[in-house]
């Protein structure tokens, strides 16, 4: 059979359309595409985080133990001042608070007096205390902050506030299009930043307002920095803003303000990268616009256009973290504070400022600030070049075109090493750039393009192949089973005589009393009835991985484990047989109702089933004009004989010895040791009564034990004892309706009493009918 010619242009067109679609998604996808890209960077960071090196950055942790020893938060400002003094005495270069003091200290005497009630006994005391002159707790802390190089933090807010934090640092800008001016307070401001598309500062994160500290404290400190972060769309803090805009003013983050104060620097030098790119693609992909670098004293920090730094996290926290109580203990031995940048924060429950990061879903915010300060001091930066996205796009598309050309020229099989090599190269390049140079290069888009190019090429070929398969199906599907047609469609050369030998499980089922039933219908009605019976039975067999061999009137012949391998095929056949009998019960109710409506006296439909497992020959058998996929062998014939015996023994399903062995966990009892008609060798046959769950039930276990005792006595020719056990088993057998089985044995026992079996009788029964 000649296959249709493959449309050569489709080999190019479909992959090119797919690549165009991926390119559009990459360029226009926005934050969700960036989020997928960031997942790869997260994986790199988790596999190889920044190794901890002591950069003289410390975190003083107001932890649970510190609160237990020194009292609940907020502490009196006098105690906070003692903590600052202790750090200063131990040589800290700067003390930065990842905490705010927006309200007056309630423990200060003047604040305590205001909280007292105006009762007669306290009124005079309040007047006297109010008249006392002295330093408040806040002024006490301010005096210590003025003495010690210190930085306070403020929190950005989504709503405008009446006051904004004071600017402690100056800013110098290079490359900017619009220069800042000084306001009446001497602060640098930028007017109409958001209205001017040529102003690169519009890329800096903007907040309408901020929660500030008490003026007395802000005036005393050396620096003020923002404690806030701007999480990505998935809530993770990967990049930390180093610059913030509040209205028309620019402010530093807490980390870089601490670095500035520690170096006694007066200002920040900000290098601006200009405005958005000149082309549409540059505007969409490039990150050069806005801020490019920030110089903090001796440190030059690379940023993205928004003034954000990729945080190069380390997983170690213990070496840099000290409990606050230990700092306040003059007897405690503490090293590493001399010349250190010290951040004060808290990990206590209820006070923690938790941040989700790529390496920790609940990292204390103060640890993020410490990580930033550490990597700046060490000069270890994760860098995502501004033009990286555009270069990645161009290189990926060029490589994808080369892969497509190889696919068209050499085909999918021979080109698969090329595609796999490109995918490997993209991942390795990204990983190597990260580990060797701390560059963040996207591995996701190249891998997606290479995989999509290869997959779309394969898909076009698959569609063409399906057309060929459909032609074969249309031609042979009318007289071959669906699975054989599928196998033939995959390999048209498989149509030949002969076959293979394999172990299989065989199924025969037949409607009992079909002749009587057929007399109730006319030819058309009988056809409809048979189809209504065969269809649900067939569906159950196919659902359990069986193959229909043939229909012989009211009989179904099926098998398992061919043409495809079916693990546990004996169990699958048992499951199917039980489901078929259960389904027949529901069908009987429907048929009885339909027959009654038509005035037909339809008897209840019952089927007998025989299952057997064993080797046979299976394959395409027939003539050169017509073939059928079928089975041949003694065990096939035995399955047919077992189906016939189901009526004789009064059970629904009879299974052979190998089937019982391979489905040992199902509920079954031995029926007899029998020589079926046409066979000389006896076999043990069994009645399949239920599922593995039923086999574990105490009622079945008791019944099966009694039945086994009965058979043992029967085969030992102890007929009186056997009859007694049989009566006991019969009482227990009611749920499984095997009364006819015991009536059969009752007749045998009576016959053996009248005419005992010969000496050496082995208990074998020879069947006289099929």
Nearest Cα to Cα of residue 98 among 367, 308, 357:
367
Mean pLDDT of 493-499: 51
Going by C-alpha positions, the residue among 474, 492, 500, 496 that lies closest to residue 627 is: 496
**How sure is the predictor about 603, in pLDDT bands with cuts at 50, 70 and 90?**
confident
In the predicted model, what is the mean pLDDT of the chain? 85
Between CA 317 and CA 339 the distance in angstroms is 19
Residue 4's pLDDT band, with cuts at 50, 70 and 90, is very low
Tens of pLDDT, residues 388-414 = 888 888 899 999 999 888 988 888 888
Beta-bridged to residue 150, according to DSSP, are: 95
pLDDT tens per residue across span 302-330: 998 889 999 999 987 778 999 999 999 98
pLDDT beyond 50 at 497: no
Using 50, 70 and 90 to split pLDDT, how confident is the model at 1?
Answer: very low
CA nearest to 675, candidates 764, 550, 572: 764
At what angle are helices 739-754 and 698-715 packed, to 10 degrees?
A: 20
In terms of average pLDDT, the best of 21-30, 623-632, 708-717 is: 708-717
* pTM for this predicted structure: 0.60
Where do we find the tokens 């068209």?
408
DSSP string, 126-140: HHHHHT-----HHHH
Share of the chain above pLDDT 90, in %: 52
Q: Which pLDDT score is estimated for 545?
A: 86
Per DSSP, which regions of 514-591 are E strands? 547-552, 555-560
Angle formed by the axes of helices 444-476 and 482-490, to 10°? 120
pLDDT in tens, 249-287: 889 999 999 999 999 999 999 888 755 555 555 655 656
Structure tokens at 12: 């190019």
Q: How confident is the model over 196-248, as pLDDT tens digits?
A: 555 656 778 888 888 889 999 999 999 999 999 998 888 999 999 999 988 67
Beta pairing class for 150-157 and 223-226: parallel
- What pLDDT is attached to residue 699? 95
Question: Rounded to the nearest 5°, which phi and psi values hold at 247?
Answer: 65, -120
CB within 8 Å of 405: residues ≥ 6 apart = none
pLDDT(433) > 60 = yes
CA-CA distances (angstroms) from residue 691 to 335, 663, 664, 694, 736? 72, 10, 10, 5, 12
Q: Is the pLDDT score of 123 beyond 70?
A: no
Q: At what angle do helices 31-47 and 388-437 cross, to 10 degrees?
A: 10
CB within 8 A of 47, min separation 6: which ones? none
Whole-number Å distance between alpha carbons of 616 and 632: 6
**Which has the closest alpha carbon to 236: 96, 50, 43, 29?**
43
Least Cα distance to 272 among 203, 347, 193 occurs for 203
Residue-wise pLDDT tens digits, 539-552: 899 889 888 888 88
To which residue do tokens 């044995």 refer? Answer: 745
Q: Which one, of 607, 667, 617, 664, lies nearest residue 637 by Cα? A: 617
For 353-359, what is the mean pLDDT? 92
Question: Between 180 and 66, where is the model more confident?
Answer: 66
Residue 121, phi then psi, degrees to nearest 5: -75, -25
Instruction: Judge contact between 86 and 394, C-beta under 8 A.
Output: no
Predicted local confidence at residue 481, as pLDDT:
52
* Residue 172 pLDDT: 84
Highest-confidence segment of 144-153, 408-417, 474-483: 144-153
What count of residues does the chain have? 770
Residue 633 has pLDDT above 80, yes or no: yes
Concatenated DSSP letters for 91-126? T-SEEEESS---S--TTSHHHHHHHS---HHHHHHH
d(CA 356, CA 11): 46
Mean pLDDT to the nearest integer, 626-650: 89
Angle between helices 31-47 and 444-476 in degrees, nearest 10:
110
How distant is the alpha carbon of residue 696 from its chain centre?
Answer: 36
pLDDT for 731-760, tens place per residue? 999 999 999 999 999 999 999 988 998 888
DSSP string, 217-278: HHHHSSEEEE------TTS---EEESEEEETTEEEEBHHHHHHHHHTT--EEEEEE--SS-S
Residue 150 three-state SS: strand
- Percent of the chain surpassing pLDDT 70: 84
Q: Residue 499: which pLDDT band, with cuts at 50, 70 and 90?
A: confident
- Strands of 297-356, DSSP E: 299-302, 308-310, 321-323, 341-345, 354-355
């Amino acid at each position: 059979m000649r296959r249709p010619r493959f449309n050569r242009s489709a080999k190019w067109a479909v992959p090119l359309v797919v690549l165009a679609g991926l390119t559009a998604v990459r360029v226009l996808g926005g934050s969700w595409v960036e989020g997928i890209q960031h997942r790869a960077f997260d994986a790199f960071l988790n596999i190889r985080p920044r190794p901890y090196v002591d950069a003289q950055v410390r975190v003083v942790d107001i932890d649970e133990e510190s609160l237990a020893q020194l009292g609940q938060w907020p502490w009196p400002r006098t105690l906070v001042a003692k903590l600052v003094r202790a750090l200063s005495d131990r040589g800290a270069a700067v003390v930065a608070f990842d905490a705010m003091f927006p309200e007056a200290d309630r423990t200060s005497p003047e604040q305590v007096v205001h909280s007292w009630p105006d009762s007669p006994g306290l009124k005079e005391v309040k007047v006297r205390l109010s008249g006392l002159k002295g330093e408040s707790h806040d002024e006490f802390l301010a005096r210590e902050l003025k003495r010690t190089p210190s930085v306070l933090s403020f929190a950005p807010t989504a709503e405008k506030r009446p006051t904004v934090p004071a600017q402690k640092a100056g800013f110098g800008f290079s490359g900017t299009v619009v220069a800042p001016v000084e306001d009446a307070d001497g602060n640098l401001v930028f007017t109409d930043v958001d209205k001017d598309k040529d102003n690169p500062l519009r890329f800096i994160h903007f907040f309408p307002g901020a929660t500030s500290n008490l003026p007395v404290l802000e005036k005393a400190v050396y620096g003020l920095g923002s404690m806030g972060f701007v999480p990505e769309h998935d809530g993770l803090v990967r990049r930390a803003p180093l610059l913030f805009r509040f209205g028309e003013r620019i402010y530093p983050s807490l980390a870089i303000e601490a670095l500035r104060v520690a170096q006694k620097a007066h200002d920040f030098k900000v290098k601006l990268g200009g405005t958005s790119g000149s082309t549409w693609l540059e505007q969409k992909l490039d990150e050069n616009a806005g801020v490019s670098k920030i110089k903090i004293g001796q440190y030059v920090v690379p940023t993205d256009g928004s003034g954000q730094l990729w945080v190069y996290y380390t997983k170690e926290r213990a070496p840099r973290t000290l409990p606050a109580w230990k700092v306040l203990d003059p007897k405690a031995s503490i090293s590493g504070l001399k010349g250190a940048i010290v951040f004060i924060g808290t990990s206590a429950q209820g006070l923690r400022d938790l941040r989700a990061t790529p390496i920790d879903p609940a990292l204390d915010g103060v640890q993020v600030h410490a990580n930033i300060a550490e990597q700046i001091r060490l000069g270890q930066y994760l860098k995502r070049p501004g033009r990286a996205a555009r270069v990645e796009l161009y290189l990926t598309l060029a490589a994808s075109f080369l892969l497509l050309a190889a696919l068209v020229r050499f085909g999918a099989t021979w080109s698969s090493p090329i595609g796999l090599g490109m995918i490997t190269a993209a991942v390795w390049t990204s990983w190597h750039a990260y580990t060797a140079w701390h560059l963040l290069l996207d591995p996701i888009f190249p891998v997606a393009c290479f995989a999509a190019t290869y997959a779309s090429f394969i898909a076009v070929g698959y569609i063409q192949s399906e057309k060929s398969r459909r032609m074969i199906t249309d031609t042979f599907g009318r007289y071959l089973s669906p699975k054989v047609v599928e196998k033939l469609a995959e390999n048209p050369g498989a149509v030949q005589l002969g076959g293979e030998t394999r172990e299989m499980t065989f199924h025969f089922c037949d409607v009992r009393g079909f002749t009587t039933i057929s007399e109730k219908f006319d030819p058309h009605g009988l056809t409809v009835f048979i189809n209504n019976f065969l269809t649900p039975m067939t569906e159950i067999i196919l659902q359990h991985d069986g193959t229909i061999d043939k229909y012989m009137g009211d009989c179904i012949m099926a098998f398992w484990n061919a043409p495809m391998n079916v693990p546990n095929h004996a169990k699958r056949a048992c499951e199917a047989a039980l489901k078929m009998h259960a389904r027949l019960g529901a069908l009987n109710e429907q048929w009885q109702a339909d027959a009654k409506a038509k005035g037909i006296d339809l008897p209840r439909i019952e089927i007998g089933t025989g299952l057997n497992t064993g080797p046979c020959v299976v394959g395409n058998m027939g003539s050169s004009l017509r073939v059928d996929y079928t089975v041949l062998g003694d065990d096939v014939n035995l399955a047919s004989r077992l189906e016939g015996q189901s009526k004789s023994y009064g059970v629904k399903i009879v299974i052979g010895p190998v089937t019982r062995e391979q489905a040992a966990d199902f509920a079954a009892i031995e029926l007899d040791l029998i020589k079926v008609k046409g066979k000389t060798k006896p076999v043990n046959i069994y009645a399949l009564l239920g599922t593995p769950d039923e086999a574990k039930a105490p009622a079945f276990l008791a019944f099966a034990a009694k039945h086994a005792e009965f058979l043992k006595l029967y085969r030992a020719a102890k007929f009186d004892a056997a009859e007694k056990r049989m009566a006991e088993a019969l009482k227990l057998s009611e749920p499984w309706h095997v009364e006819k089985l015991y009536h059969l044995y009752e007749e045998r026992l009576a016959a053996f009493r009248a005419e005992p079996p010969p000496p050496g009788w082995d208990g074998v029964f020879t069947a006289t009918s099929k």
